[in-house]
Amino acid sequence: MVRPGGRSARVQASVHAAVRELESEVGREGLTVPLVAARAGVTPSTIYRRWGDLQELLSDVAIERLRPETAPEEKGDLRSDLEAWAEQFLEEMASPTGRAYIRDALLGDPDGSNAGQCSAYAAEQIDVILTRAADRGESAPDVEMVLDRVVGPVMYRILFRPDGLDAAYAHQLVTGLLGSTDG
Amino acid sequence: MVRPGGRSARVQASVHAAVRELESEVGREGLTVPLVAARAGVTPSTIYRRWGDLQELLSDVAIERLRPETAPEEKGDLRSDLEAWAEQFLEEMASPTGRAYIRDALLGDPDGSNAGQCSAYAAEQIDVILTRAADRGESAPDVEMVLDRVVGPVMYRILFRPDGLDAAYAHQLVTGLLGSTDG
């Protein structure tokens, strides 16, 4: 269905752009499918056919915006790389915008594919960090362990227990995973 | 607003009961506020006034059903108590019913209070287990640490990465927290 550069890709790009523009103009609560369609220059039925409803469209837009734009920063050793990444991940996800995208991604996602994509983004970033560590000859945990020890607790607290989400907490999770430097 | 035994409590009980009955009769997709109101013997405006919309009502019903009915089973030592609890928690939350309640609890929860209640239930159960361990003279982690190491990864995987959620995984998380018996 999606041919790069074809009509399908153009429709997706213009509908996503329309959502982003209208969100900043009328706010989330003011969004409707007819409004998005008019701005994107498509018919409402094009949107209903492709996305089902507004919630599913917002979930797709959220996943696009949760996609990391760059590889994780390279600091030179595993602990520094993981701390920097965890701190930035927490800061982005726990921001009001990040929280809204996470909610959107989960809500309009009947088959779980967008939530899975969200987790795959984190796993890919972590894999880059762990591969660099292995290339430097450092011993490193595996990706699933980092998801359990760092990403899982951060996302759980964002959704269910949102107090105390700061850089110190991100560092504490990395210390719990790698051990204390003076321990 | 809520006077135990008063009209408000009776309305809540009958509306919650109506949701549960109708869910099993017409399914989730068939639920509407007028249908629930008719079954509960109240006007639709009573529901809109008190709950806002169907999603917020479903979130409240989900939280009621996620409330633990009994204290955690006492096996006699911290590791056995935590393993048994983690295994049961994972099994309940990862079941189709559990997943539906978690989704409902999150979706119709604009101020995050129901998600917070969901986390508070887990924290209370864990606190019972840790207090028993302390009473037996065992050393034990704190509640927040168990949330980070056991509850967080379980809930993260249920929502974002649902493969491999079995009893062995629950035990592995407890081993990661308490250390290996032969390690």
Q: How many CB atoms lie within 10 A of CB A181?
A: 7
ipTM, two decimals, is 0.91
The tokens of B140 are what? 């034990």
Instruction: Tell me how far apart the alpha carbons of residues A36 and A17 are, in angstroms, rounded to a whole number.
Output: 9
Two tokens, residue A140: 């490193």
Distance from CA of B6 to the nearest CA of A (A): 31
pLDDT at B183: 41
Count other Cβ atoms within 10 Å, centred on residue A153. 29
Delineate the domains of chain B, giving CATH numbers in brackets. Answer: 7-52 (1.10.10.60), 69-178 (1.10.357.10)
| Cα–Cα distance list, A77 to A63, A84, A94, A121, A131 (Å) | 30, 11, 26, 22, 11
Mean of all residue pLDDT scores within chain A: 93
Could you tell me how many CB contacts below 8 A there are between chain A and chain B?
71
Q: Which residues of A77-96 are buried (b: 16+ CB within 10 A; e: fewer)?
A: ebbebbbbbbbbbbeebbee
Residues of chain B with pLDDT under 50: 1, 183
CA-based nearest residue to B38, from B49, B50, B28, B46? B46
Chain B residues touching A154 at Cβ < 8 A: 152
Is residue A4 very low, low, confident or very high in pLDDT (cuts 50, 70, 90)?
A: low
Query: According to the model, what pLDDT value does residue B4 have?
Result: 58
Q: Assess whether pLDDT exceeds 50 at residue A183.
A: no
Task: Give the pLDDT score at A28.
Answer: 85
For an interface test with A, the pick among B158, B159, B163, B169 (most A C-beta atoms closer than 10 Å) comes out as B159
Q: pLDDT of A146-171, one tens digit each?
A: 999 999 999 999 999 998 999 999 99
Whether residue B148 and residue A153 make contact (CB cut-off 8 A), yes or no, is: yes
Which pLDDT score is estimated for A66? 94
DSSP state letter for B148: I
Q: What is the pLDDT of residues A48-63, one digit of tens each?
A: 999 999 999 999 999 9
B115–A contact, CB cutoff 8 A? yes
- Amino acid identity for residue A62 in this structure: A
Name which of A159, A171, A173, A174 to mutate to probe chain B: the one with the most chain B Cβ atoms within 10 A of its Cβ: A159
